[in-house]
Amino acid sequence: MTTDSIGELYVRRRILGSADVFDDGSAKVAIPGGVPIVLETDVALAGDPGPTRHFQREEMQFYPGEVVRQSFRRELFNGMCAGCHGSVSGYESHIAINPDILTSASDVRARDQGAQQLLTPGTPQGPPFP
């Protein structure tokens, strides 16, 4: 339970696991469908003196059996996301559309690897789906 200028917020979370990261920064995990998740990482953002804990402000949820790719290499960020989220450097002039996003965004080591299971069998999963 926490309170801020907007009001009270109640959140109950548990750690599903920690992903092993390949040398290019990519990872591949399997999580149960129907479970809302929030990603968290230790990273140094522009202006940070060193790596600090950062997490998503909104949840994600996927259907059972769904396969998604949630990110891409850092050097492609400015060409896809910087228009809304700001450039990696923080400079407005570094925001630019990059067509390479469409052809090489998922060219990462994790792509052809087996997925790391983040929950053990018997762990409570998402709601039942018809």
Give yes or no: residues 42 and 81 share one domain: no
Give yes or no: residues 64 and 76 share one domain: no
Give yes or no: residues 28 and 64 share one domain: yes
Task: Share the mean pLDDT of the chain.
Answer: 77
Contacts of residue 124, defined as CB under 8 A and 6 or more positions apart, other chains included, come to none
Number of domains in the chain: 2
Give residue-wise pLDDT tens across range 68-85: 777 667 777 787 778 888
Give yes or no: residues 54 and 25 share one domain: yes
- Domain span including residue 54: 16-68
Give yes or no: residues 75 and 104 share one domain: yes
Domain assignment present for residue 81? The answer is yes
Pairwise CA distance, residues 17 & 31, whole Å: 9
Give yes or no: residues 62 and 84 share one domain: no
Q: Is 45 exposed, middle or buried (0-12, 13-18, 19+ CB in 10 A)?
A: exposed
Give yes or no: residues 77 and 89 share one domain: yes
Give residue-wise pLDDT tens across range 89-113: 888 888 877 666 666 666 777 777 8
Domain assignment present for residue 53? The answer is yes
Residue 110 DSSP label? G
Domain assignment present for residue 60? The answer is yes
pLDDT of residue 129: 47
